Chains A and B, each alone.
Chain A
Amino acid sequence: MHSQIDVESYAPATAASVRNASATGTKLPFSQAYLPPPGLYDEMFTSTGEVRPHYAPILPLLRMRHDELDEMRITAERSLLHQGVTFNVYNGHAGIERIFPFDVIPRIIDYQTWSRLEAGLIQRVKALNAFVADVYGQGNILKDGLIPRDLILESAQYRRAVVGLKVPLDIFITIAGIDLVRGDDGNFRVLEDNVRTPSGVSYALENRAITAQLIPEVLRASGVRPIESYPADLLACLTELGSERFSDPTVALLTPGPFNSAFFEHVFLSQQMGIELVEGQDLVCKDHKLWMKTVHGLRRVHVLYRRIDDDFLDPVVFRADSLLGVAGLTAALRAGNVIVANAIGTGIADDKAVYAYTPDMIRYYLGEQPILPIVDTFLLRHREVREKVLRDLDQYVIKPTDASGGYGVVIGPHATERQLAELRSHIEREPHRYIAQLPVKLSVHPTFVSGADGKLSLTHRHIDLRPFVLFGQRPRVLAGGLTRVAMREGVLIVNSSQGGGSKDTWVLGPSC
């Protein structure tokens, strides 16, 4: 038996290593370390190999010896495993817990870039919220013909059961995770929206805690904006929604349970917010009110932060075989006695086909030009478009309209003949279920990689960014978000379910 290795005992030594490794200059000795790749946007280095100014604070980190970096990585990952910072992988076997691979080299976003992203994110989620309210309310955007009605009604994410349902402050989307990518032109684009039950924020917070242990001095000296207020901000938003209808509302987090891939996050957030973590079996609807079963009897729940998909929430209205939710919840919602966040039916706003219309939505609802562009998207439901895409299928990224988490995505240039043939027949059978996009050359970031053969290297890997946007009475944006990194060379899908890892994400303050 080993006794567990204490993370903190490593930290000072590592910080010292960083200091020892620091030297002046803005370049690395490329011969032995890191080469920015040609034709791709490198977050840290310009194409001529100069370090970008906002990355200067962590340059010493890249000059460290590989075995030192590896020691940091092992320490970080062991700490994650022992703390149970894990996610479950669905592959037919229950209870497979993995850690989310952690890369010790942080991703840094400068103040100006972030300010613009922040404004764009708020604008975007505001428009998505207005869209959801409209779709389940008056339906003006459909009447005005901006979005075809059939595209909404045929979406697997459209919920007829909540048509006409009112929510406080007209906020349907309380929590949004918007996936951003930076292309080879250096511009950020929205890749997809996640406005059902977006996950990942706990990893962002845990990653920061680990960086603070591994390289506390670098972190402190860099003027990085703190992120620890996220759980308090989330609770504030949920409470603000609840306070519209109830005095002193009780908030609870609904989880599918320990076998869910994001269970760690549910535990983490409920603990940080100081609210109960409930499962369906803990809840009961009585008199069209929601209650949790406590040792002292039933206790009222006013706001339910749910991390369960719509389909499983209420067997009366949705899947009758679901044991994860609570019977009668929809009626309690209709009665106005409970608030569910995110509201039921928000998935219509992150449908991949609806995504194509998001710039129009921003103009329609807000009368503003979109700050953040989207990736060019082609709806395969249109015959001419479909024929054009099918002619050069290997040039496109094809996504199912109703899936998330990277499931079902086919990247044409990387696909085999057989995959393409299969995809072609799927598209021909159900064209409305697919969209096509031109591949984005995701930006790359120096990443410390331990290969399958145990070989250590400092190399470039593709990354994206998932910032988190909260809406209560006012919007709140987590400074940064979760940077996901594709741990295998050349791979463009960064989702954790597809073997991706993550990095700590630093947003610098105005003075930096």
Chain B
Amino acid sequence: MLRRIAGNLFWLARYLERAEWRARLVDANYRLLVENPGSRKDELWPLLTVTGEWELFCEDYDTADERSILAFLTFDRRNRSSIASCLEYARANCRAARNRISSELWLEINTLHLEARRWNSDLLLSHGLMAFFAELRQHFYRISGLIENTLPRDLGYDFLSLGKWLEAAENVTRLLDTRYHFLLPHPRDIGSPLDFAQWTALLRSASALESYRNTYGNQIAIERVVEFMLFNPTFPRAARFCIDHLQSALKRTPGAWNGETEIIKSAAVDVPAADNLFNKLRSGTAAAAIAGGLHEYLLEIQNDCAAIGDQISAAFFTGE
């Protein structure tokens, strides 16, 4: 497989994952707004801190109300991380790697991209945001299904996996971090309905609410949420699960050309950051992470993820 194509597949998966994560994030927080009557018009602004785009937003918009924030996060192409932008980049990577993926998958991604080009505030609001996001979710499920069911389990699939799991791991730490950092309740709010609602929204952003309840029951406690989102080995959006899967995809990739026609397996791929994070998440506990400062802990994981990305890129995408 060409190095450039491997990179295209990796980024295709990352952008798809990012688009999907952002869609869930906006959706869950919008619900929070709807389900808490009396909330203010600008209640969506914390989302901009989750995504780290507050400053970027302020450059282009005068007012931070529901309409402008939704526009910015959903379809504004000036925002390189809006859902529509992510889909555009996903589609561009997909197009470049077009002959490595199935026609069905390409058709689905291209169709979604063409739709995203038509999104605007009026369309979103007239359609109803809930319905809009519900339909968008269906697209993402279809795409995941097509990836699983129409692609051979070869190198191409492995690079898609690497991109997907790395992005997912990063997203979950960012989600936890911002909720913890910015929305850590005032002491007076602890245990109040709003706090409960916010943690519920967090779990819902990760489509984790039901699994969480199945594991821990109805009570939502910070330590358990952290345990579940970081260290759970069975939930697909938990950081540990992501890195476990990243690691096993990584194990499948090494090899070298034997002469001109044949690939021999060899263990020459160097991604030490992945081993590092893999071990960290296996031995970590929520109590220890919180005790040492959760923000610092999450930051460390984010740095590990960035290092993994760099090392994967150096090992597979750039150079010869």
Binding site for B on A (CB under 8 A): 1-2, 4, 81-84, 248, 250, 257-258, 263, 267, 270-271, 276-279, 281-282, 284, 292-300
Contact = CB atoms under 8 A, between A and B. Distances in A.
25 contacts: A1-B132, A82-B107, A82-B110, A83-B110, A84-B98, A250-B260, A258-B92, A258-B95, A263-B95, A267-B95, A271-B99, A276-B2, A278-B2, A282-B3, A293-B319, A295-B1, A295-B2, A295-B3, A295-B6, A295-B155, A295-B159, A296-B256, A298-B257, A299-B257, A300-B260
Contact of A296 (B92, B111, B257): B257
Contacts of B107: 4, 82-83
B203 to A, nearest CB: 27
Contacts of B35: none
B268 to A, nearest CB: 9
Interface of B: 1-4, 6, 92, 95-96, 98-99, 103, 106-107, 110-111, 114-115, 127, 132, 135-136, 155, 159, 253-257, 260-261, 263, 316, 319-320
Contact of B99 (A258, A277, A298): A277
Contacts of A4: 107, 111
Nearest to B94: A84
Nearest to B6: A295
Contacts of A258: 92, 95-96
A270 B2 CA distance: 14
Contact of A83 (B106, B257, B261): B106
Contacts of A278: 2
A438 B115 CA distance: 48
A257 B320 CA distance: 20
Contacts of B2: 276, 278, 282, 292-295
Contacts of A270: 99
Which DSSP category, helix, strand, loop or mixed, fits chain B's interface?
helix
A102 to B, nearest CB: 17
Nearest to A298: B320
8 nearest A-B pairs in the assembled complex, by CB-CB distance: A271-B99, A267-B98, A300-B260, A296-B255, A293-B3, A295-B316, A4-B111, A295-B6
A263 B94 CA distance: 13
Contacts of B103: 83
A94 to B, nearest CB: 12
B93 to A, nearest CB: 10
Nearest to B136: A1
Contact of B135 (A1, A83, A277, A295): A1
Nearest to B318: A293
B23 to A, nearest CB: 13
A270 B5 CA distance: 14
Nearest to A296: B255
A292 B263 CA distance: 14
A1 B127 contact: yes
Contact of A293 (B127, B256, B261, B320): B320
Most chain B beta-carbon neighbours within 10 Å: one of A1, A83, A297: A1
Contacts of A263: 95
Nearest to A301: B260
A83 B127 CA distance: 26
A296 B154 CA distance: 14
A296 B4 CA distance: 12
A84 B136 CA distance: 21
B95 A295 contact: no
A299 B320 contact: no
Contact of A84 (B3, B106, B155, B254): B106
A278 B255 CA distance: 21
A277 B96 CA distance: 9
B95 A84 contact: yes
A282 B317 CA distance: 10
B262 to A, nearest CB: 10
B3 A271 contact: no
Contacts of B95: 84, 258, 263, 267
Contacts of B254: 296
Contacts of A271: 98-99
A81 B114 contact: yes
Given A250-B260, A297-B256, A297-B257, A279 B98 contact: no
Contacts of A84: 95, 98, 106, 110
A209 to B, nearest CB: 11
A81 B319 CA distance: 36
A279 B7 CA distance: 14
A294 B257 contact: yes
Contacts of B253: 295
A296 B263 contact: yes
Contacts of A292: 2
Contacts of B135: 1
Nearest to A272: B99
A270 B1 CA distance: 14
